Amino acid sequence: MLTGPTEPFKNVILLPQTNQLLALYTIIRDQNTKRTDFCFYSDRIIRLLVEEGLNHMPVEAKTITTPTGQTYDGVSFLGKICGVSIVRAGESMEQPLRDVCRSVRIGKILIQRNEETAEAELFYEKLPEDIHERNVFLLDPMVATGGSAIVATKVLLEKGVKQENIFFLNLVCCKEGIDLYHKEFPNIKIVTGAIDSGLDTKKYLNPGLGDFGDRYFCI
Catalytic site positions: 113, 117, 211, 214
Buried b (16+ CB within 10 A) or exposed e, 84-117: bbbbebbbbbbebbeebbeebbbbbbbbeeeeee
Interatomic CA distance for residues 59 and 5, integer angstroms: 26
